[in-house]
Amino acid sequence: MQKIFRFFAFAILFAANPSLAGAQQPTTPPTPKEQPSPLPQNPAAPAPPQDQQQLPTIRVTTGLVRLIATVMDKRHNFITDLEQSDFKISEDGVPQDIRIFSRETNLPLRIGLLLDTSNSIRPRLGFEQDAAIDFLSSVIRHNKDMAFLMTFDNEPEIIQDFTGDVSLLASAIRRQRAGGGTALNDAIYRAAEKIANPPLPPGPDQEVRRVLVVISDGDDNLSDHALSEAIEAAIRAEASIYTISTNTDWMSISGDTPHKFHIVGGDKVLQDFADQSGGRAFFPYKVDDLAQSFVDIGMELRSQYFIAYAPTDPLSNGKYRKIDVQTDRKQLIVRTRRGYFATAPPSAPPPKKPS
């Protein structure tokens, strides 16, 4: 009888003062359905789009903006004897001070080779395979450089992950067959995500050179991502894109040198990828010219300048900033990426108040 009386007494006490129930909470946490959603710290600030959250970002508030620049004359000869004082850099029209400068950078290479295996390139696939293998054999240095192979037709697929073993890459290239449509934008978007976080060399110096080499006709008919999204992904990954067109329309021959005198359609897409990322577009005419395009890419990767500067504007607002690099020497052409996205690193938690 006393136990029954005590039960009703406790029930009346909790009904009169619900706050006392907190002292009797179970030790196990509530299920996720019982937990209220946390309120945003700044309701006025909208969440970034999903594609921005997934893309790698360039952190500049605690470091430097890093550029790889190629300098050529009008005959496409590489100029490799410039000094730091020969370069002028501006960001959104504001001059910047160069902090780091070196010639003929010897950074370890991280290469993504993207091979179009759609129906449109079937007649040239065999020679493209030979040229791609020769390129990797001449460029990949033992225990220093690495590459991965991606093919794309209806969708992109990584056939061989990052490796420094050229024989593995060559075997993967040889196995490919042509067929299907073309998802070029999706391939570059995915490759940019992969090359943004490559295997890094051991030791304290972990800088690498990120390069995407794309062999395609540039005609995209299946991608979910837009051209602008693919270019932005490459810029955020700090990857230079070198494109080799398989389209021989609008070609003229001056002596032994082929020249694309009208760039439209897929060729224009390939040119945009190269221009925006600081790479270069090649338009070979004969199958023999394709091999020369690979040779030129290999030479260019060893004939560049590494330049870094700290932006005078430290504000990281996520906006795109235009970069312009010029040289005082006349009639020289400087190629590098045209800009970057100034994205702040995650904010640190506020310091705890002293008790």
Residue 225 has pLDDT above 60, yes or no: yes
Which range (19-33, 83-97, 309-323) has the least confidence?
Answer: 19-33
Residues 165 and 314 both lie in one domain: no
CA angle 118, 136, 58 (to 5 degrees): 80
Does some domain include residue 72? yes
How large is the greatest C-alpha to C-alpha distance in the chain, in angstroms? 113
Which string of DSSP letters, residue by residue, matches 36-69?
Answer: PPPPPS-TTSPPPPHHHHHS---B-TTS-EEEEE
What pLDDT, in 10s, does the model give residues 281-290? 998 877 778 8
Q: What is the pTM of this model?
A: 0.78
| DSSP classification of residue 277 | H
Residues 92 and 177 both lie in one domain: no
Give the amino acid at 268.
K
Q: What percent of the chain has pLDDT over 90?
A: 60
What pLDDT, in 10s, does the model give residues 233-260? 999 999 999 999 988 776 777 766 677 7
Residues 83 and 136 both lie in one domain: no
Residues 156 and 210 both lie in one domain: yes
Per-residue pLDDT, 256: 66
Virtual CA dihedral for 329, 330, 332, 333, nearest 10 degrees? Answer: 100
Entry field: residues in the chain: 355
Residue 53 has pLDDT above 50, yes or no: no
Does some domain include residue 33? no
d(Cα 80, Cα 287) in Å, to the nearest integer?
30
Average pLDDT over every residue of 203-209: 89
d(Cα 77, Cα 68) in Å, to the nearest integer?
17
**What residue has token string 């932005």?**
232
Does some domain include residue 21? no
What b/e string do you get for 122-158 counting C-beta neighbours within 10 Å, with b at 16 or more? eebbeebbbbbbebbeebbeeeebbbbbbbbbeebee
Does some domain include residue 20? no
d(Cα 193, Cα 264) in Å, to the nearest integer?
28
d(Cα 31, Cα 342) in Å, to the nearest integer?
40
d(Cα 148, Cα 150) in Å, to the nearest integer?
7
- Tokens standing for residue 233: 């992904």
Does some domain include residue 169? yes
Average pLDDT over every residue of 101-113: 90
Contact in structure between 121 and 217 (CB atoms under 8 Å): yes
| DSSP classification of residue 354 | P
Q: What is the mean pLDDT of the chain?
A: 82
Query: Residue 103 — pLDDT band, cuts 50, 70, 90?
Result: confident
Does some domain include residue 247? yes
Residues 63 and 88 both lie in one domain: yes
- Residue 354: exposed, middle, or buried by beta-carbon count in 10 A (0-12, 13-18, 19+)? exposed
Residues 289 and 141 both lie in one domain: yes
- Residue 325: exposed, middle, or buried by beta-carbon count in 10 A (0-12, 13-18, 19+)? buried
d(Cα 90, Cα 273) in Å, to the nearest integer?
22
Query: Residue 121 — pLDDT band, cuts 50, 70, 90?
Result: confident
Average pLDDT over every residue of 46-52: 39
Domain that holds residue 267: 109-301
Does some domain include residue 40? no
d(Cα 261, Cα 177) in Å, to the nearest integer?
31
Residues 335 and 260 both lie in one domain: no
Query: Residue 20 — pLDDT band, cuts 50, 70, 90?
Result: very low
Please state the domain count of the chain: 2
Residues 287 and 273 both lie in one domain: yes
Contact in structure between 65 and 318 (CB atoms under 8 Å): no
Average pLDDT over every residue of 153-175: 97
d(Cα 333, Cα 209) in Å, to the nearest integer?
21
Residue 174 has pLDDT above 90, yes or no: yes
Per-residue pLDDT, 179: 92
Residues 120 and 258 both lie in one domain: yes
Which range (13-22, 89-98, 112-121) has the least confidence?
Answer: 13-22
Residues 178 and 146 both lie in one domain: yes
Residue 55 has pLDDT above 80, yes or no: no
Residues 94 and 207 both lie in one domain: no
What pLDDT, in 10s, does the model give residues 188-202? 999 999 999 999 999
Query: Residue 208 — pLDDT band, cuts 50, 70, 90?
Result: very high
Does some domain include residue 187? yes
Residues 57 and 193 both lie in one domain: no
For residue 127, give the nearest of 321, 135, 149 by alpha carbon: 135
CATH of residue 231's domain is 3.40.50.410
